[in-house]
Structure 1
Amino acid sequence: MDQILVYSDSLTWGIIPNTRRRLPFDKRWPGVFENALTEMGYTVRVIENCLNGRRTVWPDPFKEGRDGAKGLAQVIEMHSPLKLVIFMLGTNDFQCTHNHDAWLSAQGMAKLIAIVRQAPIEPGMPTPEIMVVAPPAIIAPKGVIADKFKHSEKRCIGLATELEKVASACSVLFFDSGQVTTASVVDGIHLDENQHKILGEALARAVSERIDF
């Protein structure tokens, strides 16, 4: 059985926009992704490591543990052997507590890629392949998270392009989720249930075409 680690934030954790509730596994995209791959005949296990508010490499001044670089090497060690690591991060880099642009966020992703490749896995275990998934572009935030993401739709412009450049430079796989879906119509940040389904199925197709299981 091949193991795939998904390392992400609330977009993947499955938060239901404008609530604190969570979609069940088979409704959030990692579950849709696993089930779709299974239906294609692959024997895979998707491991979720998704934390609400996680940045690429920056801390949250109000909540502990949101720097995605902290502890990542140990997460890779913990779950090895891994066939693939999928990153979908960046959205929280544009919270109002940061004044980042797309280039800076993508540089954070480059650091995460390096950490995976340098992780202290056991001798003989493979270094996993990596896929960077650009999150959907932020729409004007609304609802309960509007203040937290104020003006983030401007700061995030160009993120998919910058992530693709990093993926190319680091020789990892890339997928732009904005090519198949958008951010939530409810809050402009997260994914609605139907968007989880669309993304999970699209990623299953992309991974099946590019990874040799």
Structure 2
Amino acid sequence: MQHILVYADSLSWGIIPTTRKRLLFEQRWPGVMETSLGASGRKVRVIEDCLNGRRTVWDDPFKPGRNGLAGLAQLIEIHSPLALVVLMLGTNDFQSMHEHNAWHSSQGILALISAIRSAPIEPGMPVPDILVVAPPAIQTPKGPIAPKFEGGEAKCVGLAAAYRKVCEETNCHFFDAGSVTTSSKVDGVHLDLEQHLILGRAVAEAVEPLLSKGI
């Protein structure tokens, strides 16, 4: 059995837009991915480490522990051996308290890639391959989260292209979630149930040939 770590934020945690409730595992895109890969004959376990509010490499001034770089190397060590790490972060880099743009987030992803590849795993264990998933672009934020993400739709412009460039330069795999789905129709930031289903199946299709290589 091959293990895949999904390292992400609330879009993958499965928060139901405008609520503090969570979708079931089989409804969240990582769970949909696991089910899809299993249906294709792959023996895969998906490990979720998805924290609401997680940035790529920055702190949240209001909540501790949202810096995605902190502890990542140890997390890789904990879950090794891993076949693949899927990184889907960036949306929270564009919260209203930050002045980041797409390039800044791409450099955050680059730091995470470096942390994964330099993690102190046991001798002989494989360094996991990495798939970077660019989250769908933020639309006009709506509902209770609107003040938190005000202006995010402008700051996130160009994110997928910036992530793709980093992946090309570092020999990582890349998938643009925005190529198959938008962000939530309800709050403009997260994913609705149908969008989780679409994304999970699409990412499974991207992951399946990587597993075929025996990574």
**Range into which the TM-score falls when normalised by the shorter chain:** over 0.9
SS, match of residue 62 in structure 2: coil
Cα deviation digits, residues 12-65 of structure 1 (max 9, x gap): 000000000000000000000000000000000000000000000000000000
> What's the secondary structure of 2:85's corresponding residue?
strand
Q: Distance in 2 between matches of 1:44 and 1:4?
A: 7
Paired letter, 2:148: K
> Which residue of structure 2 aligns with residue 95 of structure 1?
95
**Residue in structure 2 matched with residue 185 of structure 1 by the alignment:** 185
Write the distance in 1 (CA, Å) between the matches of 2:210 and 2:4.
14
Gaps in structure 1 of 5+ consecutive residues: none
Partners in 1 of 2:39 and 2:115 — Cα distance? Answer: 32
CA shift at 1:94, angstroms? Answer: 0.2
Q: Give the gaps of 5 or more residues in structure 2.
A: none
2:179 maps to a residue whose letter is Q
The runs of at least 4 consecutive aligned structure 1 residues that moved more than 6 Å come to none
Matched, 1:122 2:122: yes
Counterpart mapping for 1:144-163 below 5 A: 144-163=144-163
SS in structure 2 of the partner of residue 60 of structure 1: coil
Partner of 1:134: 134
CA distance in 1, matches of 2:205, 2:57: 29
Q: Distance in 2 between matches of 1:54 and 1:3?
A: 22
Matches within 5 A, 1:10-89: 10-89=10-89
Q: Over aligned residue pairs, what C-alpha RMSD do you find?
A: 0.6
% of aligned pairs identical? Answer: 62
With structure 1 as the length reference, what TM-score do the two structures score? Answer: 0.99
Output the CA distance in 2 between the equivalents of 1:56 and 1:202: 23
Q: Secondary structure at the match of 1:48?
A: strand
What are the superposed Cα offsets for residues 85-120 of structure 1, whole Å, 9 maximum, x if unpaired?
Answer: 000000000001100000001000000000000000
Q: How far apart, CA to CA, are the structure 2 residues paired with 1:52 and 1:103? A: 22
Q: What is the TM-score normalised by the length of structure 2?
A: 0.98
Counting matched residue pairs gives 213
- Deviation at residue 210 of structure 1 after TM alignment: 3.1
User: 1:70 deviation in Å?
Assistant: 0.1
Partner in structure 2 of residue 169 of structure 1: 169
C-alpha distance in structure 2 between counterparts of 1:170 and 1:58, whole Å: 21
Q: Deviations over 1:137-192 (max 9, x none)?
A: 00000001000000100000000000000011110000000000000000000000
Give me the whole-angstrom Cα distance separating, in 2, the residues matched to 1:172 and 1:206: 13
Question: How far apart, CA to CA, are the structure 2 residues paired with 1:47 and 1:40?
Answer: 19
Q: Within 2, Cα distance between the matches of 1:209 and 1:83?
A: 12
User: d(CA) in 2 for partners of 1:37 and 1:207?
Assistant: 8
Specify the code of the residue in structure 2 equivalent to 1:83.
A
